[in-house]
Structures are given as C-alpha cells and as structure tokens.
Structure 1
Amino acid sequence: MKKIVFLVAALVLSVTAMAQVQEAYPSYVQVEGYAEMEVDPDEFYLSIVINERDSKGKITVETQQRQMIEAFSQLGIDVEKQLKMSDMNSVFFKKNNTLTTASYELKLNTSKEVAAVYAALDGLGISDISIARVDNTEIERYKDQVRAEAMANAKKTAESLAGAVGQKIGKCFYIYDISGYRGVARYADSAMYMSANSEMKVAEPTLEFKKIRVEHTVQTKFVLE
C-alpha cells in the first residue's frame, strides 16, 4: 500500500511540475538533435585460447605458452604489459584423460600487429583466436564532441522551425538525454582479410577493421519568442 501511495504521489508531482513548466513557457518548440562520428580503432583486444589433450605426443599448455610468449617477444610485444591470462582449468574424464585450457587476452595497438600475431600463432598451431573488442584511446573525448554536436543540431533545427513561422527561439529550458549516457560507441565486427590460399602474394599479412561509430541523441525544448 505504501508503495502505491508513493507512486501516486510521484505521479502527481510529475504532472504538477509539467503543468508549471507549461504555464511558464506556454509557447515552445520541441526537437531532437542527433550527431554521429566514425573513428579508427587504435586498441585491439585478442582472445587466445590454448588447449591440451592427453594423447600420444601431446603438447602441454605450458609448452605452447612458452612458444607463444617467445613469438610475441620476437614481434616486439611487451608481454608483461600487453598479455594477461584470463583463465586456466582442468576437467577430468574417464580413463584419467585430462583436458586443460588456458585463456589469454592480448592488447595490441595496430592492425599490422594483429595480422602479425595471427600469422605467428597459426605457425605454432594455435588457431583459437578471436577479436574480443576494439577501442580508441580518445573515445571519451569523441563522445563529448558528438554529444555537443547533437545539442547544436537540435538548436539549429529549432531555429529553422521557428523561422518558418516568423518567430525566434529563446532559451532552452528542457534537455533530455535519450541515449541515457554520455554517448554510445558501436564496435562493429572486424572485417578481416587473410588467406593462405590467396592467389595474390603479399609481403605481409594484413587485416582491415571497420571504424567505430559514436552517436548521440538529445531531446530539447526551446522557448518561442
């Protein structure tokens, strides 16, 4: 019962507040502003999984890890800073067979490094590799920029609408962030182009990544004068 009373009271206050705003600004224009930007990723996070099975001539996770780290060092990767172990576990099956799995996350800074790592791991027989995510070191600054552009676009639209009826806009008395946060970065799936069977021979393997889309939407109300 208390919850119902509280909700009713909140609703009444909300309606009252809206009525007061309507009374204070009887003539206004309501518009949405939208802006977007595409930026190149400069941080690439790879998920690497190494598996070991009990079988004749098995290669342990430790051996594969040592080979992997050596390969990374040869590529100029700072293993201590850029490679982290995510998980390691063992599952026991019948006949004392054991499956051991180790998961890692590797942070890289260029698509060229990503291509080189894929090639190196493929040479070691490690094929369980995927792009966990991509990012940009300046993404927060881009979010702020796009949010400001969305607001500027809302104002421009309001001015255009008001001008069409021979009026001007005054102050903005209402701003609602439709996105619910500072901006949204859509990390598109990576588009990768690497093929050992390709007829075209290139000096180095290459990878192509889609850009990161940053977008923002705001809802505004401006006084009509």
Structure 2
Amino acid sequence: MKKIILSSLLAACALFPAFSQVKYEQQIPSPRIEVAGFAEMEVVPDEIYFNVSLREYFEDEKNQKNKVVISTLEKQLVKALTDAGLPKEALSVSGLGGYQEYTDKKKKPATFLESKQYELKVSSPDKLDGILSKVESRGVQYANVARVDHSKREEFKKQVKIDALKAAKVKADYLVASLDQKLGKVLEIKELDENLYFPQPMFAKANMRTMAQAESADAVAESDISYQKIKISYRMQAAFEIK
C-alpha cells in the first residue's frame, strides 16, 4: 500500500513542472501596439435659434391710449411664421414678463404692459428680417441669436469617430511595417475625448437696426451675418495584435 502511494506522488511531481510550464506560457501576452487617431469636421450650422421679445405699447404714448396687446403681436408673429413656410414648432414661448408705464415720474404708474419672450428656429438668418418685418416694429423689444446647431450633428459625430479610428489603424499599420512586421486583429478600442465647438455668430455689420426704434414695419435693414463653422473632433485609441 505504501509503495502505491509513493508511486502516485512521484508521478504527480513529475507532471507538475510540465503543467506549470504550460500555464506560464499561456500567460505570456501576444505582441501588441496601441495608437491614437484623430479626426475633425467643420460644418456650417443650418439651425439658428433667435431670442425674440414682444411687448405691449400704446399707439398714443403721450395720452396712453389705444394699447396694442401682446395677443395681437403674437398673432402677427405666428402669421409671419406661416407665411415664411415655417412650422408652428419653430416658435416656442421661453418667458413672460412686463413693465410699468409711467406718465409722470412723480405719479404712480398708469398701467402695466406685458412682454413675452420666444425662441425662433430658422435655417438661415435672412428669414428673421422677413418674419419680424410683418410684426409692428414698436412691439418688438429685441431679437438676438441664442445658439446655433446642425440637424445632422449626430450623423457627423459618428462619421468623425469612424475617421479617427481609421486614422489610428493607418498609424499602427505603418509603424509596424517599419519593423518588418504585420498588423493583426484589433484587441481593444477606446474613445479618448470628444470636442464640440458651437460658435456664436459674428456680426459683420454694426448697423443692424433695433426693431423697436425702426420708423415703420417696412423699414427693415438688410442683415449681413457671417457664421463660423461648427467643429466636431474625436480622438480614438486602438490596440492591435502584431503578427
């Protein structure tokens, strides 16, 4: 019985180094290369969001008579929007407010005038003048650009990521080839960073009229607005096996 146990132990000791060697060899990682690729795209914005504020006023300011209410101005704005071929969804209410009109600094305010703010989405700045020209100019408190965007931004982001990853593969390919080696299968992909730049508009002319101070609703100055491009860039990291 003792001889059988001893023989088994000797056999196990003989096999252990072989198993250890196999396990050790399996832990040795394959040669690999890790590189980062970069890609960038610039696009002209096709979605421009304007902040527009309407406010009530008196046709006879001196005597505070014949008040033009906010609902009248809003109807004019909505009709102008429809005439321009824009959907109702292009206009949304962003705020409400008002101010008190004084006839005399020593007296109490005679009335409260309401104001209403909107966000107007257009495809180009040229459409803004056409729309606001159909609203009573004294009822337009201000109009300015809030932000810009592009309708296909998500599609562009995907394309830039793909281009960055392809750039990483090209870099890895020529680096490995310089060592007389070949690139193998991809082992790992990481998204390093995202950079989206949405510029504010640059007004090329300083004589953009103040809507509330225009002589009439037809006295619309020609707008000349140039926009910087939206920049989308990505860095992608990839690891490849070296054959």
In the superposition, the TM-score normalised over structure 1's length comes to 0.69
Larger Rg belongs to:
2
- Residue 125 of structure 2 corresponds to 111
SS in 1 for 2:140: coil
SS in 2 for 1:178: strand
1:196 corresponds to 2:210: no
The counterpart of 1:65, out of the listed 67, 74, 80, is 74
Q: CA offset at residue 109 of structure 1? A: 1.5
* 1:154-203, Cα deviation, whole Å (9 max, x unpaired): 00111122122222221111111113xxx5532111122244389xxxx9
Could you say if the C-alpha distance between residues 29 and 127 of structure 1 is closer, same or farther in structure 2, counting changes exceeding 3 Å?
farther
* 1:47-101, Cα deviation, whole Å (9 max, x unpaired): 2223458986475433443443454455x14362321112224589xx5674644
The counterpart of 2:37, out of the listed 28, 33, 36, is 33
Question: Identity over aligned residues, as a percent?
Answer: 26
Contact 1:143 / 1:184 at 8 angstroms: preserved in 2? no
In the superposition, the TM-score normalised over structure 2's length comes to 0.65
Contact 1:29 / 1:158 at 8 angstroms: preserved in 2? yes
Q: Which runs of 5+ in 1 are unaligned?
A: 1-21
SS in 2 for 1:205: coil
* 1:96-116, Cα deviation, whole Å (9 max, x unpaired): 674644221111122321454
* In structure 1, C-alpha distance between the alignment counterparts of 2:91 and 2:166, rounded to whole Å: 42
Deviates more, 1:147-156 or 1:130-139: 130-139
Aligned partner of 2:226: which letter?
Answer: E
Could you say if the C-alpha distance between residues 62 and 24 of structure 1 is closer, same or farther in structure 2, counting changes exceeding 3 Å?
farther
- Structural mapping, 1:87-166, within 5 Å: 87-89=95-97, 98=112, 100-117=114-131, 123-124=137-138, 126-166=140-180
Could you say if the C-alpha distance between residues 166 and 220 of structure 1 is closer, same or farther in structure 2, counting changes exceeding 3 Å?
same
Q: Which runs of 5+ in 2 are unaligned?
A: 1-25, 101-107, 210-220
Could you say if the C-alpha distance between residues 206 and 27 of structure 1 is closer, same or farther in structure 2, counting changes exceeding 3 Å?
same
The counterpart of 1:85, out of the listed 83, 86, 93, is 93
SS in 2 for 1:128: strand
Contact 1:44 / 1:114 at 8 angstroms: preserved in 2? no
Aligned partner of 2:201: which letter?
Answer: S
SS in 2 for 1:144: helix
**Equivalenced residues, count:** 195
Contact 1:111 / 1:209 at 8 angstroms: preserved in 2? no
Q: CA offset at residue 147 of structure 1? A: 0.7
Contact 2:55 / 2:141 at 8 angstroms: preserved in 1? no
SS in 2 for 1:31: strand
Contact 2:190 / 2:238 at 8 angstroms: preserved in 1? yes
Contact 1:46 / 1:131 at 8 angstroms: preserved in 2? yes
Contact 2:39 / 2:234 at 8 angstroms: preserved in 1? yes
SS in 1 for 2:118: strand
Contact 2:55 / 2:98 at 8 angstroms: preserved in 1? no
